[in-house]
Homo-oligomer: A and B are copies of this chain.
Amino acid sequence: MKVHLIAGGAGFIGVNLAATLLQRGDAVIVIDDLSRGLRDNMAGLTGHNSFTFIEADCSEPDVLDAALGDLKIDEVWHMAANSDIPAGVADYKVDLRQTFLTTVAILDVMKRRGIPVIHFASSSAIYGDHGDELIHENIGPLLPISNYGAMKLASEAQLRAAKEAYLERVSMFRFPNVIGIPATHGVILDFVRKLLASPDELEVLGNGTQQKSYLHVSDLVSAMVHIADRQEDFAFYNIGPTDDGVTVRFIAETVRDAFRPEAAIRFGEGNRGWVGDVPKFCYSVDKLLATGWRPSLGSSEAVIKAVSEIIAGEAVR
The reply on A74 being an interface residue by CB < 8 A is no
B138 touches A140 (CB 8 A): yes
- Count contacts on A: residues with CB < 8 A to the other chain: 37
Q: How far is the CA of A234 from the CA of B145 in the complex (A)?
A: 12
B275 touches A164 (CB 8 A): yes
The reply on A315 being an interface residue by CB < 8 A is no
A132-165 contacts to B (CB < 8 Å): 137-147, 149-151, 153-154, 156-158, 160-162, 164-165
Residues of B within 8 A of A234 (CB): 143
Q: Which of A126, A139, A146, A158 has the most CB of B within 10 A?
A: A158
A143 touches B156 (CB 8 A): yes
Residues of B within 8 A of A144 (CB): 157, 160-161
Q: How far is the CA of A260 from the CA of B143 in the complex (A)?
A: 47
A107 touches B128 (CB 8 A): no
A145 touches B128 (CB 8 A): no
Q: How far is the CB of A235 from chain B (nearest CB, A)?
A: 12
From the candidates B96, B137, B161, name the one contacting A104 in the complex (CB within 8 A).
B96
The reply on A54 being an interface residue by CB < 8 A is no
The reply on A108 being an interface residue by CB < 8 A is yes
Q: How far is the CA of A165 from the CA of B143 in the complex (A)?
A: 13
A272-301 contacts to B (CB < 8 Å): 275-276
The reply on A236 being an interface residue by CB < 8 A is yes
The reply on A228 being an interface residue by CB < 8 A is no
The reply on A191 being an interface residue by CB < 8 A is no
Q: How far is the CB of A35 from chain B (nearest CB, A)?
A: 20
Residues of B within 8 A of A156 (CB): 143
Residues of B within 8 A of A161 (CB): 89, 92, 144-147, 149-150, 276
Q: How far is the CA of A207 from the CA of B71 in the complex (A)?
A: 44
Q: How far is the CA of A157 from the CA of B147 in the complex (A)?
A: 8
4 closest cross-chain pairs (CB), A and B? A140-B140, A154-B154, A150-B157, A143-B160
- What residues make up the interface of A, taking CB atoms closer than 8 Å to B? 89, 92, 96, 100, 104, 107-108, 126, 128, 137-147, 149-151, 153-154, 156-158, 160-162, 164-165, 234, 236, 275-276
